[in-house]
Amino acid sequence: MKLTLSVFKAAVGSIGGDVRPSRRLLKTIEEYVLLNREDLLKDLHVGHTGDDVAMLMSHTRGVGNPDIHHLAWKAFLAGAQAAQRQGLYRAGQELAPGAFTGNMLGLGPAVAEMEIEERPGEPLLCFVADNAAPETFNLPLYLAFGDAMANPWILSSRAMRKGFRFVVWNAAATQEDGHAGMVPFDAPEGLYELAALLREAENGVVESVWSRSSGEQTAVVSTERSRPAGKGGSPVMLVRSQMDFPATGDILAPYHLGFPIGGASLSSHYMPLMPVKLNSIASFFNGHPIVSCAAFSICEGRLTEPVDAFDNPFWDAVRARTAEKAMESRRHGFFAAARRPERGTVQPSPLIEPPGAAGRILS
């Protein structure tokens, strides 16, 4: 049976600033979907990371199905109305009423979908980032699927030794150049070319990963919010694990690095990405970059209850070390490498004169 997995994420209202959605908002979204799904869905899970609400849906309608997208869009709008009734901060901030025309791509929410042939005991990881740049998952995917030093199981599995295909959204490519923007890189032989593209954070976003042994898709990342270059918000990602794909623990392992990523305080800084527990809030520096991971098993399209993949004493130690790195980075204020380029969004005011400039004409 062909099964489609779709995850939709949006910030539609938050308690106390950009902290977390209310329980009423989350319940409203879930109840709207359950009351209006008819025969559309196999299953549903609703949760949040920071102030972002994420809906994971399983169905058989395929990728980009307008009925599925419309159901998710209307659920977010219902959540936004609940947020308005509660007076939550930025109610409906990422939604434009009346803008839906059949697909949610480009309308604000992050969307990641893939169609699969369900395996026996299908393990699935759903990653949700908040206050993080679109390229958040580039390094973890590179390490888990392409680097045998980071994931030695690549060498032990005959299927994985055949490598994986990375499909990357090239942010520099435009329709005017005659490029669709999606560029394939085959690992291992194309790893250097892939690394050369991804070494500059804003160059591109890994959109999907495919097994070269079976041709099956193993990962998908939301990229529509990273278009055009330099624009975008926190991504979501679905990853299938085990058997001919990397093990769950090997996919999670790169997050121990606390690697710097664009984000925090309106995407103004580079800060270390912190792996957090499910339904964590955002409360440091107007939103420190965070990521959660819910692990599921799937049987005939039905999801088990989620397991919190970062709820282990090991990750407490990682969080403590990442917090130290974040505080050290933040001590630099607006100076040096901690600060992201403004990309032309802020211009110095011509009305401000430096001390001692009185009586002089400024050029």
Q: What is the pLDDT of residues 272-322, one digit of tens each?
A: 899 999 988 877 766 689 999 999 999 999 999 999 999 999 999 999 999
pLDDT confidence of residue 355: 41
Residue type, 56: L
Identify the CA nearest to 18 among candidates 289, 309, 221, 259.
289
Give every CB contact of residue 77 below 8 A, 6+ residues apart in sequence: 92, 95, 97
Identify the CA nearest to 260 among candidates 249, 271, 246, 275.
271
Q: What is the pLDDT of residues 34-78, one digit of tens each?
A: 999 989 999 999 999 988 999 999 999 999 999 999 999 999 999
351 in a domain, yes or no?
no
Rounded alpha-carbon distances, angstroms, from residue 44 to 57, 226, 230, 305: 5, 26, 32, 10
Q: Of the given ranges (24-38, 199-213, 326-340), which has the lowest mean pLDDT?
A: 326-340
What single-letter DSSP state applies at residue 118?
P
pLDDT > 70? residue 172? no
151 in a domain, yes or no?
yes
- 189 or 269, higher pLDDT: 189
Domain containing residue 113: 2-338
Q: Can you give the C-alpha Rg of the chain in angstroms?
A: 21
pLDDT > 90? residue 344? no
Q: Of the given ranges (42-51, 72-81, 91-100, 354-363), which has the lowest mean pLDDT?
A: 354-363
> Do residues 115 and 62 lie in contact, with contact meaning Cβ atoms separated by under 8 Å?
yes
**Cβ of 1: how many Cβ atoms within 10 Å?**
9
Compute the distance between CA of residue 129 and CA of residue 267 in angstroms, rounded to an integer. 13
191 in a domain, yes or no?
yes
> Do residues 139 and 254 lie in contact, with contact meaning Cβ atoms separated by under 8 Å?
yes
How far is Cα of residue 73 from the mean position of the Cα atoms in its chain? Answer: 18
Q: Could you tell me what percent of the chain has a pLDDT over 70? A: 83
Categorize the per-residue pLDDT at 230 as very low, low, confident or very high, splitting at 50, 70 and 90: very low
Q: What is the pLDDT of residues 5-20, one digit of tens each?
A: 999 999 998 898 888 8
Rounded alpha-carbon distances, angstroms, from residue 198 to 166, 183, 195, 209: 11, 12, 5, 15
Angle between helices 66-86 and 23-36 (to 10 degrees): 150
343 in a domain, yes or no?
no
320 in a domain, yes or no?
yes
Q: Of the given ranges (1-15, 102-116, 188-202, 338-352), which has the lowest mean pLDDT?
A: 338-352
Q: Of the given ranges (136-140, 325-329, 352-356), which has the lowest mean pLDDT?
A: 352-356
pTM score, whole prediction: 0.88
Provide the b/e sequence for 278-298 (b: ≥16 CB within 10 Å).
Answer: bebbbebbebbbbbbbbbbeb
pLDDT > 80? residue 104? no
pLDDT > 80? residue 179? no
Provide the number of structural domains found in the chain. Answer: 1
Identify the CA nearest to 48 among candidates 75, 70, 26.
26
Sole residue written with tokens 């150049």: 177
pLDDT > 60? residue 178? no
pLDDT > 60? residue 246? yes
72 in a domain, yes or no?
yes
344 in a domain, yes or no?
no
Full DSSP string of 300-356: TTEE---EETT-SHHHHHHHHHHHHHHHHHHTTTTSGGGBPP-TTS----TT---TT
> Which residues sit opposite 210 in a β-bridge?
165, 217
pLDDT confidence of residue 32: 96
Most confident of 123-137, 163-177, 256-270, 281-295: 123-137
Compute the distance between CA of residue 301 and CA of residue 2 in angstroms, rounded to an integer. 9
pLDDT > 50? residue 350? no
pLDDT > 90? residue 182? no
304 in a domain, yes or no?
yes
Q: Apex CA 182: angle with CA 240 and CA 226, to 5°?
A: 80
pLDDT confidence of residue 345: 41
